[in-house]
Copies of this chain bind each other. A is one copy, B any other.
Amino acid sequence: MPGPRAATPQAEPRRPRIAAAERERMIVDAAIGFFAEEGFSGQTRQLAQSLGISHSVLYRHFPGKQELIATVCTELFERRWREEWIEILRDPAVSLEERLLRFYQEAGTLLLAPEWMRIAVMTGLSGAATPSGLSSLLQDRIIHPLADAIQAEGSDRPLPRNIAEERAWALHGRVFYLGARGAIWRGATPRSQDEALAVAIAGFCRGARALAQAET
């Protein structure tokens, strides 16, 4: 009779060995899609299965599920952001509307992707503290640059800062909700997301322009 933990060699013909760094990348990439779909209560065994490995491998590379989730959040909220997206908003040769549109077209590949939206919302619902990466992404890389661009547009009289931020929140809220309808509730957005984005930004800009004219 074998001892209590005799690992009987089963027929498991091939075991591709993959370097640790690459395996970790594979795990994080798969975990993003997996947790986005299943929620943070998704089972590590199922995630491992989708990778074609046994779930113990996860625990060799990450101390625990929480740390894996934290890595997923860092990847989404910090590593995948491109700082040059902010530069788009600063180009003085391009109209505000065009800048906003290009900004959201580029940044939207990250921010409006279902995985990003769903996991961002999950972190909020999970009860844990909001990841610092997420709040700083929102504040420092989205709202503030947007407000800067909006503020600079009032040619004759500079727009007060708080009003500019107000409008930045309004625009971003509109865009976020646009993405959320598709990513969270999977409702069919009336048009293609790109088109809807253009309409939303055009509406915002025409409103802002008209407002500026009406106030002079």
**Chain A contacts to B: CB under 8 angstroms:** 37-39, 41, 118, 121-127, 130, 134-135, 166-167, 169-170, 172-174, 176-178, 180, 184-187, 199-200, 203-204, 206-211, 213-214
Contact = CB atoms under 8 A, between A and B. Distances in A.
B173 A127 contact: no
A200 B163 CA distance: 11
A80 B170 CA distance: 28
Given A125-B118, A178-B173, A210 B200 contact: no
A174 to B, nearest CB: 5
Nearest to A39: B125
A184 B124 contact: yes
Contacts of A213: 210, 214
A63 B210 CA distance: 57
A200 to B, nearest CB: 7
- Which 4 A-B residue pairs are closest in the complex by CB-CB distance? A173-B177, A207-B207, A210-B210, A124-B184
A193 to B, nearest CB: 13
A170 B200 contact: yes
B39 A184 contact: no
B122 A125 contact: yes
Contacts of A166: 199, 203
Contacts of A122: 125
B130 A170 contact: no
Nearest to A171: B174
A124 B20 CA distance: 35
27 contacts: A37-B127, A38-B127, A39-B41, A39-B127, A118-B125, A121-B125, A121-B184, A122-B125, A123-B185, A124-B186, A125-B125, A125-B184, A130-B186, A130-B187, A135-B187, A169-B178, A170-B174, A170-B200, A170-B203, A172-B177, A174-B177, A176-B177, A177-B177, A206-B214, A207-B210, A210-B213, A210-B214
